[in-house]
Homo-oligomer: A and B are copies of this chain.
């Protein structure tokens, strides 16, 4: 028997059963775009770098699989998947917290709030992006991020404010269009309204975040939004500006736990490793890898936090695979060593290249700088003249670099979008052993609601009783302005918000 690590895990999960019968707190941790091959990818890399690492932290928490298809597609997007996990229903791709007829559905976060639980959203994308939005907003299309921001702070949510703690990027959707950093089309100063009307502590400062994690004196609702668009990829992150996902997750847990104890209640926390997905869309093995490793660090930290607080349960599953990643292409070639050299994402090196074009470099200077700083910086040492020429003519230099490095590592990407494969379900804590096996993504929602004793139907009825809210969603949907064909996430869209001004 060589099952020591797993045996330890099983013992640890079984223990709380003796002490508690019902969890007080639930954490749902979504690694966006994390498919089965991504897990093997990161594990083999970790094992290459450190032979003693045989398994990833999440490997020890695997309990099952999740089926992901949406109402209108066998391949889901993050919006329909978030709605499935949040509301327990299938909906169309691009829909946020509404069913196939654009009628709003109560989410597990909202149902928790209605029952007196505290709630939180912690992500590395814009806080208005599809996954967190699916838990606390209801709009016809995921791109309605201004409306999502309004609902998340409580400004236009039928239930009022349903979120107590939020952390992530997307500040631009809270600023009026007069601000140069705004992504809004209107003059709404949602940042100030959130502070003044809804009593949010709104901060972008790393120092304020650190105070929040060190002190008992945090007020809720508390929002930490350090980035205008998405927060940085982990491999590009400047720790002076942005904490890690692990830091944010534990800080949110500590705040919610402390406040919940004070109020004699529990909490529901949604955490997302948002940008594993973006690395997949961009075919960037470096961005994908480091965000996966940070997801694993955060999962390990949350798992240990749960070990210390056994009235809390951790479930985790991706929304879908991203990029069609396969390892060993062609001919069983799979070389994690190729990935050890890059210090930044392909997007970072592509930005250097784009910047170079504005300089008055000689051809020789251009070539040597490209070889050294761009290709070499990213770990592509044996670059050919044809590849250098290829960079000059591509419209997507980051994807170009990512695919060059991928092919050298034996990694293949089959699509710029998502794929249909089942994703892995991870669990730790009370009763998660009941979820062993293969489940629909909607089942995961009903399990969580059941465990917390929540009534999703009550939340749904409350939302639907607001007739003008329901009418406004259907009106937006009927305008059909969002009913467009599938769009790839453009590589620039992946790293920054849609600056419209």
Question: Residues of A at under 8 Å CB distance from B?
Answer: 1-3, 6, 9-10, 36-37, 39-41, 43-44, 54-55, 59-65, 67, 69, 73-75, 77, 88, 93, 321, 324, 326-332, 334, 336, 412, 414-422, 424, 433-434, 436-440, 442-443, 446-447, 450, 486, 488
Contacts and interface: CB of A to CB of B under 8 A. Distances in A.
Given A36-B36, A419-B37, A437 B75 contact: no
B330 A446 contact: no
A12 to B, nearest CB: 12
Contact of A1 (B9, B64, B328, B447): B447
Contact of A330 (B61, B74, B417): B417
A61 B64 CA distance: 10
Nearest to A54: B440
Contacts of A39: 422
B421 A59 contact: no
A420 B40 contact: yes
B62 A437 contact: yes
Contact of A414 (B43, B64, B329, B332): B329
Contact of A422 (B40, B63, B73, B447): B40
B328 A75 contact: yes
Given A39-B422, A420-B328, A438 B62 contact: yes
Contacts of A37: 419-421
B324 A447 contact: no
Contact of A332 (B334, B447, B486): B486
B36 A422 contact: yes
Contact residues of A: prevailing secondary structure: mixed
A67 B419 CA distance: 22
Contacts of A36: 36, 65, 421-422
Contacts of A334: 73-75, 420
Given A415-B331, A434-B10, A439-B6, A1 B446 contact: yes
Contact of A62 (B65, B417, B418, B434): B65
Q: Of A88, A417, A488, which is in contact with the most chain B CB atoms at under 10 Å from its CB?
A: A417
B62 A416 contact: no
Nearest to A438: B59
B417 A328 contact: yes
Which 6 residue pairs are nearest across A and B when measured between Cβ atoms?
Answer: A324-B326, A75-B328, A327-B420, A75-B332, A412-B414, A59-B438
Given A10-B436, A328-B419, A328-B420, 13 more contacts: A2-B442, A2-B446, A36-B421, A37-B420, A44-B420, A62-B64, A74-B328, A74-B332, A75-B334, A324-B328, A326-B326, A328-B418, A412-B414
Given A74-B334, A75-B334, A436 B433 contact: yes
